[in-house]
Each structure stands twice: as structure tokens, then as C-alpha cells.
Amino acid sequence: MFNSISNNFGAGIIQFKDVQESNYIVLNAKFTCSPQDDAYKAAEVLEITVPALTIGRSTEAGVIVSFTDRREYYGRIENYDACTVAKSWVKDANTLCIEKLSVFDEQPELIFHVQTLYCQLAQGGNVIVGKKKDLSCVSEDDFLSIRTSDSLCVVFKKWAFYHWMYDYCSTAKSNADWEAFFKNLPEDINADVPVLSATNYQHKQLGSIGMSHLEEGYFTMPASERSSGFNNTANYVFSFAFLVRDYDTTPEVEGRLHYENEMLRAGQYDAFSDVNLELIPAPSVVAFSGSMGIYKAGPVTFPAPDFPEEVPAFGAFFLAAHYHSKGLTVQLLEIQVTKTGSNTNVQVIDQSGDKNLAFKMFDTTVPTTI
Amino acid sequence: MTAHNAFVRININRSLAGEHLLTDAPSHIVLIPDVAYSSVVMTPQMIMFSGIKHESAPYKLVVKMSASQSAGISNGWSKTVLLASDIEDDWGEADVTRLYLKAIGVEPVPGQKVFIKAYWMNTQTGIGGQVFKDSVLVTGESIYQQRMRVTEANLDPAQEQSVSAIDVDYSTNAPVVNFNAVCLGYSNVAASKAYLEENLPSELLGISYALGRGMGEDGSIHPQSYEIQSTNFSRKTSINFNHRGGAYIKPTEVFGPGIFYQQ
């Protein structure tokens, strides 16, 4: 987490939650400013000066910019809050930029919702495949339904991507505050997430926006945050965010060098599931568990994202077992964990002559440096 | 250098970089960064700098190259001619093949040597930095892999496209693909398709979600989300931009990093 140093558009100090890798960063922040401020009017591009980031430039990403517009009609407060996506980029290691949109010039106050991943190109490797988790909604009397085909998260150790789409809610709850549990949403995400939609009766060039909250796997959204027309057909209500998890870098056990990943992928079909690796430097011992179901000789090499720097490159031999129709096979595997720059690969090599890599492995052995 | 010399030199530099004349002398005490790059691909088909250490505006790269010289020549920098004074690297890459052919007139010859001079120029002041000298042997073929991306040049000309200005870049080495496309829509479907001339590798086929923003003629700039599917069918790859969240506006620009996964 860090605070901004300054900005050129009259906003106060901006606090960022962050994940900073060597070639991309994820930033979360929410802040306000006034387009009537002289500094805002003078700025061509909104610039925020920050402590040095791990990347010195980025492609253009998106941040949600909104303003509040609540109006009373016949004793009801109608929500016409409006928004769109503004382009944002890392200009240099100390400067985050957001484009200035003239559509907001007359507003007294703007709210910026930064839940954004900033990446670079030509990084010496292609896109890394994530693992999708479908979100499913558990609510009282199933009052709330979400579009399961488009409600998902892709989870990493320190951050997650979240896309959610609303389907419908029961009439009984249409004017109530909502609370539901989203299965598969990481429970260490604590964030206010904008909910966007198509219909905005007062600002037809812009979308509508309301705020939901995610915490400990629960989704909440007050009735007052749901825009006028929320339940209209074809309102395509959605959320889109890269969210920083409340990850703790302190090892549970002092000196513990640990890595786990639900699934490593090498291409579309080859997977190494439930990887759990623990290495003790002295005396040198490594414990490794995981399973594969690859029916070919291999070897197979898996990129290992978010691999701890502290775990060195090593090689080791492990025993694994495969229970199949003809009985139980014990297999000797050689696993090599290699590092090139910030990238780590896990290569699995069959040393039994089995010509397949289908096994469950729970073994502890002595690693050697490579 | 006299003031007159400086006026001429600085303004020629600025003019070559597309800037107007300066009438007041800029400060001469300036720090211009040094040129740094990983390699130069030099083949008859491709002349490209890779791994250029990027310098932001107002700096632009000035490159001079020679025609092919005998490999035994050790000092051929006097034979370099200007290729361009306003080169900007594209994420560390600068393809100067066409500039070379336009300036030199012939392709470099494998086995021979090309001499290179390069320096950064501050286009605001017209002042150039330290000249970096290099020489490269011309090879017949290159093993250099340009980064994986899809642009308009990769689209199948025989197919009707419903996406324009497409630039999908896979070279992030991160769990996202970078998108930059304008979706035009087709028929009455809330989607746009880009048909490629060739297949993408299987590891780049999958599903992404990215943000979009409307570009309606009425000024609509509604925020949207798009599910982007790349699939192979009949030995061709299609990239489908399927509208999901927000108001569907035609056209819409889809931009920024999109998470990537495979079913």
C-alpha cells in the first residue's frame, strides 16, 4: 500500500492498494476531485505522482470515472449516478496518468475508481494462462440470480480478476438491500466495486453506476445504490475489476519457503493440479505434492506464476503413484524448477520409462541446486 | 560552433523531426540519454532494432546506416547515410527495413557488414546526444521472433471484417492480453468478428474479458465489457468480440489488458 506524492488536478492524497510485479502492476484506489478546481481545468492530462513503481511505462488501461446524481421524485430518491471508462496509463515510474474527458467538465465532483491492471508489451514471453473459477450465488430464498456464464473470477496469489453480471431478483427483494454469498470468490478480497449498467435516464451518453461491496466472499448492494431502471430488460448490469487481495507476505513458519498453485498449465490440455511445494534450505529438504493426468511421455514444462524469489532453482527426484485398471504403478519422477529472470518453470520428467505422466505425488526428498 | 552554425544545426534537426523553426536559442546545457538496445536484426528481408531502451517524448531516435561493406572493413561509419530523424520504438522494437531500402536503395548482402550510427535527439531543442556506433554482419535468415500480436495486416482480406484498427498483443508475459480494437458490429448481433489469414498457436487460443467504451455518433461513451474468444475453425483463427455488460454501442473501442484463460 502507498500514498500518492502529489497530483496536478487538485485531488488530495490518494491511497493505493497495490501488487507490483516486475512486468505488471495492479492498483486499487478510490478518490475524488472537482472539475471546477483551477488545477483540474489547467491540466491536459490528469497526472498523479507516486513513489517509484516497478514498471516504467504501460499500455492504456481503463478506470471508471463517475459522478453522483440523486433526485427526489414523489418521496423516492432516484439514482442517476453516471459513469464511463477513462483511459489510464503509467507514463513513467513515478507518474500515473488518467485522460481527462470533457463530458465531465460541468460536474462539481468526480469519483475515480481505480481497479486496474497495467501491463507492458514485448516482455519476452506470451500471455500466461489463468484459471477461471465460476461464481455461483447463494442468497436467502434464492432471491438473487446472476448470469453464471459471465460471472467469474480468475484468481492469483495476490490479486484476482472479477467479472460479474446480474440476472434478476425476486419481486419481494427488488427494493431491499441485497446480501448474497459468491462461491469461489476469494474471501480475502475487501473492496467497494462499481456496478455499471446501460440505462441512465438523465445522462443518456453515459452508463449508470452504483456501489457494491465484496468482503469475506459476501456481495452486498444497498437498494439506494441500484440505479433507476436497474431491472430493465437489456440493462446488462455488470462489474469489471482487477482486485488486490489482502495477502500476507509473512510466512506462517519462520524460514518457510512455500509455493502453491491450484493449477499450472502448459498449453490447453496439460495441467499440474494442486501444486504444493515446501523447501527447507538447511538441512536441504523439499516436500512436493500434486497430481497430473497427462497420458504421454513428456517431459512437460509448466510456467509457475508468482513463484517466490526466495525459493532457488533446484532439481529433485520424487516417487509418485498412479492407480489404474491394472493396479497400482509407482513412478519415479524428476522435477526441475528453473528460473530465467523473473520467470520460473517447473519441468516434470518421467524417469521410469512409463511413457505417461499420470500420477498423484506426495513425497519428500533432498533437492540439488541446478 | 558559432551562433549561426547552432541556429542552422538545431533547426535542421528539428525540421527533420517534423518540428517548426526555433528563433530563440535553447539551453545548451542538456542531458540527452545514451542509445541502448539489445540487438539489430540485419537480413535482406528485415532490418530491426530490438530491446531498445525506451525514451519518452520529446526524444526521438536518429539512425544512420551504410550500405553493405566488405566484412573486412573495420571503419565504415563515414559511409552511413540518414535513414530517419524521428524514429520511435514500438515497445523496444524499431523496424527500419523500408527506411533502409528507401535511403540505400538495395537490400543488405549476407556476409557483408553494415555500419550504424544512432543517437537520441531532443526534438524540442533540436540538440542530439552522444552518437552510438555499431556494426552488424548481415545474415541470410534471422531467428528473431517478433512479438506475438494481431494487427490489420494479419486479417484475411477475403473475409468481411467487423473490427477495424485491431491490435491484439500477446507479448505481456502476464495473465492478460492487451487489446486495442474498434468493434463495428455485424448484422443484428451484439458482436464483432476478426478473421485472421493464418492460425494462431494453440496456447494463444482462449477467452478474455476486457473493457470497452462506446464511440456513438451521438456522443455515447457508455462503458461496456466484452468477452473475447479466439478459436480455430477450418484452419483459420477468428477473434470474436462478444458484447456483455453495459449499453451496446456501435462502434465501440475495446482497449486495455484483458484477463486470459482457456476452457
Q: Are residues A360 and A276 in the same domain?
A: yes
* Angle at the Cα of A295 from the Cα atoms of A293 and A301, rounded to 5 degrees: 75
CB contact under 8 A, A196 and B223: yes
Residues sharing a CB contact under 8 Å with residue A292, sequence separation 6 or more, in sequence order = A270, A271, A272, A273, A300, A348, A357, A358, A359
State how far the Cα of A219 lies from the Cα of A151, in Å rounded to an integer: 13
Other C-beta atoms lying within 10 Å of the C-beta of residue B219: 11
CB contact under 8 A, A121 and B147: yes
Average pLDDT of each block of 10 consecutive residues along chain B (263 residues)? 78 80 74 91 94 90 96 94 94 95 95 96 89 94 85 92 94 95 89 92 94 94 97 88 95 97 87
Of B180, B201, B200, B260, residue with least CA distance to B227: B260
Instruction: Say what the pLDDT of residue B142 is.
Output: 82
Residue A250 belongs to a domain? no
CB A137 within 8 A of CB A164: no
Q: What is the DSSP letter of A65?
A: E
CB contact under 8 A, A127 and B170: yes
Residue A126 belongs to a domain? no
Residue A125 belongs to a domain? no
Q: Are residues A351 and A303 in the same domain?
A: yes
**Amino acid letter at A228?**
S
Instruction: Say what the pLDDT of residue A184 is.
Output: 94
Residue A252 belongs to a domain? no
Q: How far apart are the first and last CA of chain B?
A: 66
Q: Are residues A98 and A161 in the same domain?
A: no
Name which of A62, A165, A242 is nearest B244 (Cβ-Cβ): A165
CA distance A273 to chain B (A): 15
Give the C-alpha distances (Å, rounded to integers) separating B240 from A195, B166, B254: 25, 12, 12
Residue A285 belongs to a domain? yes
The three grid cell numbers given for residue A108, joined into one nine-digit string:
462539481
**End residue of a domain, out of A185, A218, A244:** A244
Nearest CA in chain B to A116: B257
In chain B, residues with a C-beta closer than 8 Å to the C-beta of A111 are none
Give the C-alpha distances (Å, rounded to integers) separating A167 from A137, A149, B226, B244, B255: 11, 11, 17, 12, 26
Q: Are residues A230 and A261 in the same domain?
A: no
In A224-283, the residues whose Cβ lies within 8 Å of chain B are 236-240, 242, 265, 267-268
Sign of CA dihedral B212, B215, B218, B221: positive
Q: Are residues A239 and A341 in the same domain?
A: no
Q: Are residues A19 and A80 in the same domain?
A: yes
ipTM attached to this prediction: 0.83
Q: Are residues A75 and A171 in the same domain?
A: no
Name which of B178, B220, B224 is nearest A119 (Cβ-Cβ): B178
In A57-86, the residues whose Cβ lies within 8 Å of chain B are 57, 59-62, 64, 83-85
In B111-150, the residues whose Cβ lies within 8 Å of chain A are 147-149
Instruction: Say what the pLDDT of residue A349 is.
Output: 93
In chain A, residues with a C-beta closer than 8 Å to the C-beta of B227 are 150
In chain B, residues with a C-beta closer than 8 Å to the C-beta of A84 are 213, 221-223
Nearest CA in chain B to A153: B259
Q: How far apart are the first and last CA of chain A?
A: 35
CA distance B53 to chain A (A): 11
Reported as a single tens digit per residue, the pLDDT across A175-211 is 999 999 999 999 999 999 999 999 999 999 999 999 9
- The total of structural domains in chain A comes to 3
Residue A297 belongs to a domain? yes
Q: Does the pLDDT value for residue A253 go beyond 70?
A: no
CA distance A86 to chain B (A): 8
Question: How does residue A268 score in pLDDT terms, banded at 50, 70 and 90?
Answer: low
State how far the Cα of B233 lies from the Cα of B50, in Å rounded to an integer: 34
Burial of residue A96, with CB atoms counted within 10 A of its CB: 0-12 exposed, 13-18 middle, 19 or more buried: buried
As a whole number, mean pLDDT of residues A84-90 equals: 98
State how far the Cα of A179 lies from the Cα of A214, in Å rounded to an integer: 10
CB contact under 8 A, B203 and A24: no
Other C-beta atoms lying within 10 Å of the C-beta of residue B156: 15
SS3 B3: helix
E-state strands within B103-261: 113-122, 127-128, 132-137, 149-151, 163-164, 167-169, 176-183, 191-195, 207-214, 223-233, 236-243, 252-261
Residue to substitute from A240, A262, A264, A301, interface B, most B β-carbons within 10 A: A240
Q: Are residues A266 and A303 in the same domain?
A: yes
Nearest CA in chain A to B252: A85
Q: What is the dihedral of CA B222, B223, B227, B230, to 10 degrees?
A: 80
Q: Does the pLDDT value for residue A261 go beyond 90?
A: no
CB A10 within 8 A of CB A34: yes
SS3 A114: strand
In B40-69, the residues whose Cβ lies within 8 Å of chain A are 54, 56
Give the C-alpha distances (Å, rounded to integers) separating A341 from A82, A370, B145, B179, B195: 44, 15, 19, 26, 35
Q: Are residues A110 and A143 in the same domain?
A: no
The three grid cell numbers given for residue B39, joined into one nine-digit string:
540487438
Reported as a single tens digit per residue, the pLDDT across B34-47 is 999 989 999 999 99
CB A86 within 8 A of CB A63: yes
CB contact under 8 A, B246 and A198: yes
Instruction: Say what the pLDDT of residue A342 is.
Output: 78
A104 to chain B, any CB pair closer than 8 A? The answer is no
In chain B, residues with a C-beta closer than 8 Å to the C-beta of A206 are 221-222
Q: Are residues A26 and A97 in the same domain?
A: yes
Reported as a single tens digit per residue, the pLDDT across A31-43 is 999 999 999 999 9
A102 to chain B, any CB pair closer than 8 A? The answer is no
E-state strands within A139-269: 144-146, 152-155, 159-169, 178-183, 190-197, 207-215, 218-221, 238-244, 257-266
Residue A127 belongs to a domain? no
Reported as a single tens digit per residue, the pLDDT across A1-46 is 999 999 999 999 999 999 999 899 999 999 999 999 999 999 999 9
Q: Are residues A204 and A146 in the same domain?
A: yes
CB contact under 8 A, A119 and B261: no
State how far the Cα of A184 lies from the Cα of B247, in Å rounded to an integer: 28
CB contact under 8 A, A103 and B54: no
A127 to chain B, any CB pair closer than 8 A? The answer is yes
CATH number at residue A168: 2.60.40
**End residue of a domain, out of A119, A144, A173:** A119
Nearest CA in chain A to B145: A124
State how far the Cα of A150 lies from the Cα of B145, in Å rounded to an integer: 35
Instruction: Say what the pLDDT of residue A322 is.
Output: 86
Residue A251 belongs to a domain? no
Domains of chain B: 3-137 (2.60.40.10), 149-261 (2.60.90)
Q: Are residues A44 and A99 in the same domain?
A: yes
**End residue of a domain, out of A201, A216, A244:** A244
Q: Which range of residues forms the domain containing residue A230?
A: 132-244
State how far the Cα of A346 lies from the Cα of A370, in Å rounded to an integer: 13
Q: Give the number of beta-carbon pairs within 8 Å between A and B.
A: 180
In B148-187, the residues whose Cβ lies within 8 Å of chain A are 148-149, 169-178, 180
